[in-house]
Amino acid sequence: MNKLSTWLWFETQAEEAARFYASVFRGKVGEVVRAPAGAEPYNKEGQVLTAGFTVEGQEFYCLNGGKHPGGVPNDSVSHQILCADQKEVDEYWNKLLAAGGKESQCGWIVDPYGFCWQIVPEALYRYMNSGDREVAKRVTQAMFKMQKLDVAALDAAARG
């Protein structure tokens, strides 16, 4: 286990979610930990407690924690997927959307479990960090009008 890892809280879908995320992000499902005998009254013997998955060397863990005291996940924490090009943006966006995700704006999508993902092309960072404040302004204004980020439209905005 890495020194720092990300945990996602689920009511009962930890293993299902780990398999879903591993498939979407071309990752690998890791260890699935089940409750031992005597774990009652919190967990039944054999019930999935945690399920791990790894994507690009980053470990994630899904926890079956029952009803979350704070309710469903919210936008205060999100995961960013940095994409090389429009093809990769489309791939992740379409996979999350097809599984029941909901589009938001500026490259954000909420997955079927309620977690937020920012699907961002490298071009956005290139323009925002170019040092040309006018380019950054035009690209930002274009981005604000988008749900899924469109690299060709960002390129056009950068050119003016």
In angstroms, how far is CA 51 from the centroid of its own chain?
16
Nearest to 117 by CA among 3, 6, 4, 2: 6
Q: Is residue 72 part of a domain?
A: no
Instruction: Report the alpha-carbon distance of residue 42 to residue 34 in Å, rounded.
Output: 12
pLDDT band at 141; cut points 50, 70, 90: very high
Look up the CATH number of the domain holding residue 36. 3.30.720.100
Q: pLDDT for 64-116, tens place per residue? A: 988 877 777 877 889 999 999 999 999 999 999 999 999 999 999 999 999 99
Answer yes or no: do 54 and 85 share one domain: no
Question: How many domains does the chain divide into?
Answer: 2
Answer yes or no: do 97 and 138 share one domain: yes
pLDDT of residue 159: 96
Look up the CATH number of the domain holding residue 125. 3.10.180.10
pLDDT of residue 73: 80
pLDDT of residue 39: 77
Instruction: Report the alpha-carbon distance of residue 53 to residue 58 in Å, rounded.
Output: 8
Tokens of 94: 């379409």
Please count the helices (runs of H) and the strands (runs of E) in the chain.
5, 8
Residue 7 above 90 pLDDT?
A: yes
* Structural element, H or E, at residue 38: none
Confidence (pTM): 0.88
| List of residues 6+ apart from 25 with CB closer than 8 A | 55, 56, 81, 92
Of 64, 90, 112, which residue sits at a domain end? 64
